């Protein structure tokens, strides 16, 4: 069969909007809590879920699931919000469109400073975009930033008994192309960590004018070559990060 000679162009502004998808999932305004703790890995989301009372599943879509319940009287939404930039973009849009005001990422990252160890925490204040999703949202000069007050309060709360580093985090789509030529250019720009999510997460939150933060557990170090993906320090820190975050949520006046 031959293609039509005269092509028919799309006339609608957008094929599908976040609200359209939420409606198709039977989502109703108020289903989400004001604050969402968003993990990339499902096991982190499942750990978060154990803290909630009377949790109700909001939706499952493409393997991403969110629940909303209460923790010590505060409504909290938890779920797995994307492994990489593309899925992070659309899941974060759903949360923002659905009414979440505080978006906090509980993730992991590689360190880009020899003084940062496996199991340390990095809290991002500014993101360096090296992904392919955010150019569809903002221009190349846009610099995504986490909410300064929220970030400061999280750092103060966690550094009482954890090693916390604050600084720029670079987000990339190409795990196996973190070559010294590329990595060193981002170190020169001030990056102390790298992941595959946070830049997109914060960019989308910024476009929706939501308060965001990204707290990341260090799993490896690009400078020393240390790989801690199966290191007990990484797993212990990951669990402590989740435990303490619920303690932090308890302090929020929301």
Identify the pLDDT of residue 1: 56
Q: How much is the average pLDDT of 66-83?
A: 97
Q: How much is the average pLDDT of 163-181?
A: 97
pTM as predicted: 0.95
Query: Which sign, positive or negative, has the C-alpha torsion 190, 193, 196, 197?
Result: negative
Identify the pLDDT of residue 2: 62
- Give the SS3 label for residue 124: strand
Average pLDDT, the chain: 96
What's phi and psi for 138, nearest 5 deg?
Answer: -140, 165
Domains of the chain, by residue range, sit at 31-251
Identify the pLDDT of residue 6: 80
pLDDT in tens, 5-46: 788 999 999 999 999 999 999 999 999 999 999 999 999 999
pLDDT in tens, 224-247: 999 988 889 999 999 999 999 999
Q: How much is the average pLDDT of 155-161?
A: 96
pLDDT in tens, 177-223: 999 999 999 999 999 999 999 999 999 999 999 999 999 999 999 99
Identify the pLDDT of residue 208: 98
**Which are the contacts of 239, defined by CB distance < 8 A and separation ≥ 6?**
47
Superfamily of domain 31-251: Nucleoside phosphorylase domain (3.40.50.1580)
pLDDT in tens, 97-125: 999 999 999 999 999 999 999 999 999 99
DSSP 157: H
* Alpha-carbon distances, residue 85 vs 97, 196, 231 (angstroms): 18, 6, 26
Identify the pLDDT of residue 18: 95
Q: How far apart are CA 163 and CA 161, in angstroms?
A: 7
């Amino acid at each position: 069969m031959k293609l039509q000679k005269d092509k028919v162009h799309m006339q609608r502004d957008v094929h599908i909007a976040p609200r359209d998808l939420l409606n198709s999932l039977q989502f109703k305004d108020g289903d989400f809590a004001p604050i969402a703790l968003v993990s990339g890995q499902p096991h982190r989301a499942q750990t978060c879920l154990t803290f909630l009372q009377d949790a109700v599943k909001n939706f499952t879509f493409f393997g991403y699931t969110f629940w909303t319940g209460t923790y010590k009287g505060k409504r909290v939404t938890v779920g797995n919000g994307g492994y990489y930039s593309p899925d992070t973009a659309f899941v974060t849009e759903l949360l923002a469109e659905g009414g979440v005001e505080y978006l906090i990422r509980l993730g992991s990252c590689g360190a880009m400073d020899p003084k940062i160890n496996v199991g340390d925490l990095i809290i991002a204040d500014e993101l360096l975009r090296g992904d392919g999703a955010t150019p569809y949202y903002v221009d190349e000069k846009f610099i995504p930033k986490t909410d300064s007050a929220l970030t400061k309060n999280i750092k103060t709360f966690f550094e009482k008994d954890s090693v916390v580093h604050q600084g720029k985090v670079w987000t990339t789509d190409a795990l196996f192309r973190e070559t010294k030529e590329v990595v060193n250019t981002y170190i020169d720009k001030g990056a102390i960590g790298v992941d595959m999510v946070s830049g997109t997460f914060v960019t989308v939150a910024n476009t929706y004018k939501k308060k965001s933060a990204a707290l990341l557990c260090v799993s490896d170090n690009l400078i020393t070559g240390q790989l801690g993906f199966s290191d007990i320090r990484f797993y212990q820190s990951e669990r402590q990060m989740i435990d303490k975050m619920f303690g932090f949520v308890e302090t929020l006046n929301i």
